[in-house]
């Protein structure tokens, strides 16, 4: 199920993604940035962060995905092949997924650009929201 996302207590509370989910997040973010990066105010409007911060996050995410892929290929533990994103970045990840689905008029074009279907991105975004809300409820009790 693509929409199952967990909040884990690591060094900092983090969203935990399986490799395929993390790749979808990375592809959606890359697509959004390639579409709007020439206008910094649009990046801030759509993603809620300055372009430099988004690029730095994108670089870290790419490194983390590569490390998870290497762990997966080496048949290390399942935990080693997971990608964690600090909860502080949840808004950026969520909006990248949602915004990316609005930047192409067709499902086919989206699939070409991102490598997934719009519904997969929106399901993953819903999973992030659910995990985030559950975490907020858990930490409030």
pLDDT tens-digit map of 65-110:
999 999 999 988 777 889 999 999 999 999 999 999 999 999 999 9
pLDDT at position 141 is 40
pLDDT tens-digit map of 114-124:
999 999 999 99
pLDDT at position 1 is 45
Q: Name the average pLDDT for the chain.
A: 91
Q: What percent of the chain has pLDDT over 70?
A: 95
Sequence-separated contacts (24+) of 118-127 with Cβ below 8 Å: 120/2, 120/24, 121/24, 121/28, 121/97, 122/97, 122/98, 123/2, 123/3, 124/2, 124/3, 124/5, 124/21, 124/24, 124/25, 124/97, 125/94, 125/97, 125/98, 126/3, 127/2, 127/3, 127/4, 127/5
pLDDT at position 2 is 61
């Amino acid at each position: 199920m693509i929409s199952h996302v967990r909040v884990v207590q690591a060094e900092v509370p983090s969203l935990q993604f399986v490799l395929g989910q993390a790749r979808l997040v990375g592809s959606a973010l890359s697509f959004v940035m390639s579409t709007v990066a020439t206008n910094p105010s649009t990046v801030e409007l759509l993603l809620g962060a300055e372009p430099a911060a988004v690029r730095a996050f994108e670089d870290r995410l790419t490194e983390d995905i590569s490390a998870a892929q290497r762990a997966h290929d080496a048949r290390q533990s399942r935990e080693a092949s997971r990608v964690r994103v600090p909860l502080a970045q949840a808004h950026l990840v969520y909006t990248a997924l949602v915004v990316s689905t609005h930047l192409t008029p067709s499902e086919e074009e989206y699939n070409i650009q991102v490598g997934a279907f719009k519904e997969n991105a929106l399901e993953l975004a819903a999973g992030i929201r659910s995990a985030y809300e559950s975490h907020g409820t858990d930490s409030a009790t």
